[in-house]
Amino acid sequence: METREKILQAAAEMIAEDMTAKLSVRAVAARAGVSTGSLRFHFPTQRALQDSLLARIYEHLLPDDPIRDRTLPPRERLLNCLRQVLAPLGTNEDARTAWGTAYRTFIEPEQTEEVRAAYLAHEREAERRVEHWLTVLAEEGALPPGDHTRNVRFLLTVLNGLSVERALPTRESVLIAETETLNAAVDHVLSTGPASPAGPIRR
């Protein structure tokens, strides 16, 4: 196997075993059976490694719509679906250019009825997608039935925040922070149903 592949493999295993793993140069290199120099050659900076790993994970993790895959618990499925939304954004430069076009088409120009309509189309599409996931989960009882619009809005906001954070300059370990935030959001949606205006009914 090639060195680069060995490195990514080792890093993926480490992250899979312990999500808070630090992925230090020497630890990953040792696990991959590779020297730190080789690792540095393929990934000039530690950040580069983390970005590649993130891309790899998302790529490998989501082949098709995971919401119907009953072998996974609902939490995991919803998590994967949300990841699927974030995945095509890429990281760093990719995310930045993606945000650039989004900014230029939706925020910068005069707010004519046309751009409004264009954005609302996207928005509705995204809402439909998330709503679909929530209804599927509600059908199998993982989530109280009813009106999910609040939860949909909540999840979309979290996704928006994460996506913009991908474009912004960031310090290390976007990966852990991102999955933790996603976990928190999913946790919240799955624990409090659609019918909790202010009631402290928490698990």
Catalog residues that contact a copy of itself under the rule CB under 8 A: 15-20, 57, 61, 72, 76, 92, 96, 99-100, 103, 106-108, 111, 115-116, 119-120, 123, 150-151, 153-154, 156-162, 164-165, 167-169, 171, 176-177, 179-181, 183-185, 187-188, 191-192, 196, 198-203
- To the nearest 10°, report the CA torsion of 54, 60, 63, 66: -70
Q: Tell the residue number behind the tokens 């009106």, with chain if given.
A: 147
Interface segment toward DNA; rule CB under 7 A; list 24-32, 134-142, 162-170, 187-195: 24-32
CA 69 to chain centre: 18
The two structure tokens encoding residue 111:
């707010």
Residue 42 binding DNA, by CB under 7 A: yes
36 touches, from DNA, a copy of itself, none (C-beta below 5 to 8 Å by class):
DNA
- x/- mask, DNA, residues 118-157, rule CB under 7 A, reads ----------------------------------------
Residue 12 binding DNA, by CB under 7 A: no
The two structure tokens encoding residue 106:
């939706």
Q: Which long-range contacts (CB under 8 A, 24 or more apart) does 141-145 make?
A: 142/74, 142/190, 143/74, 143/189, 143/190, 143/193, 144/193, 144/194, 144/195, 145/194
Shortest separation between residue 201's beta carbon and a copy of itself, angstroms = 5
Q: Tell the residue number behind the tokens 């004519």, with chain if given.
A: 112
Position among 8, 11, 14, 23 found at the interface with DNA (CB under 7 A): 23
Nearer to DNA, 51 or 182 (CB): 51
122 membership: H or E segment, kind and range? helix 113-139
Residue 46 binding DNA, by CB under 7 A: yes
Shortest separation between residue 199's beta carbon and DNA, angstroms = 21
CA torsion sign for 31, 35, 40, 45 is positive
Per CB under 7 A, residues contacting DNA are 2-4, 22-27, 33-38, 40-42, 44-47
